[in-house]
Amino acid sequence: MLPPVLASTSRYRLELLQRLGLTPECARPEVDETALPGEAPRALAVRLARAKAAAVAARQPGRWVIGSDQVAELNGAPLGKPGSVEGAHAQLAAMSGQQVAFHTAVCLQRDERVLDACDLTRVQFRVLDAASIERYVAAEQPLDCAGSFKCEGLGISLFEAIDNRDPTALIGLPLIALCRLLREAGYTLP
């Protein structure tokens, strides 16, 4: 069976898949990631994971495609990727001392067959002062990460606690759920 195609150019997701011994081809999904009016963060993550998988699956008939998306939720509102240093500072200041939910969806699609799952991670941020935020953003430049941090790096220092079932979900791809989906699709994994 051919390896799945990753509907992403994220090096973080690619590195996670390589943990499973997979060497996927990567394809940019070209999906508009704008939330729909009133769309809940979990629903947004699931919709975008499905849209990414579908966009690439349409160009790769007969191949399994993995789409994934993560949306951070603070007080019921979605937080996207900050995109700028100022945006990262603002997000981290808003999350200071707060519990933030991270919805990480994964979709596996081949032609019309669609399998998906969504993982929930809750992160308790410690109280962050402006100097800590500035040092962190300067050190890691987390501008392409939902929630403005990289938990696999220095971002872990921003937390008091993490509550989840799958530690890889917070990095951007829930491998436990993905392994279940891959086995359901016919892949042989350990």
Is 69 one of the annotated active-site residues of the chain?
A: yes
What type of residue is 69?
D
How far is the C-alpha of 20 from the C-alpha of 5, rounded, in Å? 14
Of the residues 32, 69, 116, 129, which is catalytic?
Answer: 69
Decide if 140 contacts 153 (C-beta within 8 A).
Answer: yes
Give the C-alpha separation, 141 to 134, whole Å: 10
* CA count, 13 A, side-chain hemisphere, 144: 7
Task: Say whether 28 sits in a helix, a strand or coil.
Answer: coil
Q: 6 by DSSP, 3-state: which?
A: strand
118 contacts: CB under 8 Å, gap ≥ 6: 42, 45, 46, 49, 103, 104, 105, 106, 177
- Segment (H or E) for 122: strand 113-125
Active-site amino acid positions: 69
